[in-house]
Amino acid sequence: MDHVYTNGQMTENHTESESEDDFFLQRLTPIHTIILDFTPVNFIDSVGAKTIKSVIKEFATVDVKVVLAGCSRTLLSDLRTLKFFFEPVTPDLIFPTIHDAVLHCKHSRDAPVCPDLQ
């Protein structure tokens, strides 16, 4: 495919057999994890909790893990009260800092897979 980028516009020379969805939904980089920084979040209501849970589920369908970092004790208490921590969302997706989340994601991504489990 030949693409020409000019002034924020993209002109493309592709065949008619390619659908627009196929073109725009291609992964440009191998994303395996998204870390959501909840440090500035002080409160979450039921709609917000359901939305975050929905986002986690949607990304799980395309093999992208979503983790939360920097949740305050109050926020964690609110999430427990809202019954947020049930499959597929479990407390092991919560990290005290972004750094901890990055280290966990990097370690779990780099960990060798046991041949017996394949």
pLDDT at 84: 93
pLDDT at 54: 94
pLDDT band for 28, please (50, 70, 90 cuts): low
pLDDT at 118: 36
Which range scores top for mean pLDDT: 10-19, 53-62, 103-112?
A: 53-62
pLDDT at 89: 87
Listed as own residue / partner, the contacts of 94-98 with beta carbons closer than 8 Å and 24 or more positions apart are 94/67, 94/68, 94/69, 95/67, 95/68, 95/69, 95/70, 96/69, 96/70, 97/69, 97/70, 98/35, 98/37, 98/39, 98/69, 98/70
Q: pTM score > 0.85 for this model? A: no
Calculate the average pLDDT of the chain. Answer: 81
pLDDT band for 30, please (50, 70, 90 cuts): confident
pLDDT band for 23, please (50, 70, 90 cuts): low
